[in-house]
Amino acid sequence: MSTTTTQSSEAKTTTRELALSVQNLTTSFRSDRGLVTAVSNVSFDLFKGEALGLVGESGCGKSVTSKSLMRLLPEHVTRYGSDSKVMLGSDNVMKYSNREMRKIRGNRIAMIFQEPMTALNPVFTIGWQLDEALRHHTKLNRADRRKRVVELLDMVEIPNPDKRYGEYPHQLSGGMRQRVVIAMALACEPEILIADEPTTALDVTIQAQILRLMNDLRERTGTAILLITHDLGVVAQTCDRVVVMYAGQVVEQASVGDLFHNPSHPYTRALLQSIPRSGKKEKGKRLATIDGIVPSLLDMPKACRFAERCDCRQPQCDVEMPELVNFSGDRSVRCHFPVHK
């Protein structure tokens, strides 16, 4: 029982080396109704050692974005934009062959998913599965691998790591399993960790543990984290900068403090307002909501995609698609009439 001592966002702006740069990522799927574009012109940078939050509601394209980075989408139906680039160092990952992708997956970029239940193979012990990752990507011998696995289990704060080596996934609780998954992801000391809703399936008390763990690990190993979630609270607790997505596009980018205290895009602001607030209750008060629903992927407006739900809608919004404009330091917004500038 301890309190977490993560540093606040300000202290992290010292050295900024680029870990990953996503430029103009567009991902479309071939379906029997034609080409459906799930992600349009998404660009953002991920710096070494930072935690970047990718936030949005279901259907906004955040999962598709993360899977595109790892090229995990089904090949024969996925089409990427011609100028889509994902720069890992000086290489464009989009141009990698399957073989090259396999070399970097788990090795330079690792990914963890939402369901710890299905991320682990139920018929192998967790020790074996961690060992597999090392076998695949490193040249360590058996004894060294075993040592490393125990080290990893210890790093993710699993008690009795020696004993746990031989246990099966079903013998562990959800929180424990997610720790194992994190250990697997970090086994080869990747530069980047993509975490797709890693705590959504966990209880709130366990979630707090896992988030603290991820923060600690990030400080120790310098791995950059791309944290994908729909939970703004999680973002507030862990991230340095935030990218907000809506209907397949990036609508706002800012440091976490700026985003929460002075949101720029009407959608971000509305989202923050619709969360019930802790503290003294105002009985019977209705929550602020956003009217309407997300437009269907098959029927996207040609202009601003949020216009029909926006409470500061103007005629220009229905005519012209706003560009993502960088208006100060780290802040960008895609809006003709941003709330804060």
Which positions touch another protein (CB under 8 A)? 1-6, 8-9, 32, 57-58, 173-176, 203-209, 211-212, 230-234, 236-237, 239, 256-257, 260, 270-272, 274-281, 283-284, 286-290, 293-294, 296
Instruction: Let me know: does 242 contact 259? Beta carbons within 8 Å.
Output: yes
**Closer residue to another protein (CB): 132 or 157:** 157
**Shortest distance in whole angstroms from residue 293 CB to another protein:** 6
Choose between 80 and 246: whose C-beta lies nearer to another protein. 246
> How far from the centroid of its chain's Cα atoms is residue 194's Cα?
6
Q: 94 or 158: whose CB is closer to another protein? A: 158
Q: Return d(Cα 164, Cα 183) in angstroms, integer.
A: 13
- Single-letter amino acid, residue 127: G
| Alpha-carbon gap, residue 238 to 232, rounded angstroms | 10
How far is 103 from 137, CA to CA, in rounded Å?
Answer: 8
CB of 61 to another protein, least distance (A): 14
Task: State how far the Cα of 16 lies from the Cα of 204, in Å rounded to an integer.
Answer: 32
- The nearer residue to another protein, 87 or 272, going by C-beta atoms, is 272
End-to-end CA separation in angstroms for the chain? 41
Considering the complex, what minimum distance in angstroms separates the CB of residue 239 from another protein? 8
Q: At which residue do the structure tokens 């967790």 appear?
A: 126
Nearer of residues 137 and 305 to another protein, judged by Cβ: 305
In 48-200, at which residue ranges do the beta strands (DSSP E only) sit?
Answer: 51-55, 78-80, 85-88, 91-92, 109-112, 192-196
Alpha carbons 319 and 306: distance in angstroms, whole number: 12
Beta bridge pairs of residue 39: 27
Name the β-bridge partners of 227. 53, 195
Closer to another protein by Cβ: residue 42 or 259: 259
Minimal distance, residue 143 CB to another protein, in Å: 31
Closest contact distance (angstroms) between CB of 9 and another protein is 6
Rounded to a whole number of angstroms, the minimum distance from the CB of residue 272 to another protein is 7
User: What is the greatest pairwise CA distance in the chain?
Assistant: 68
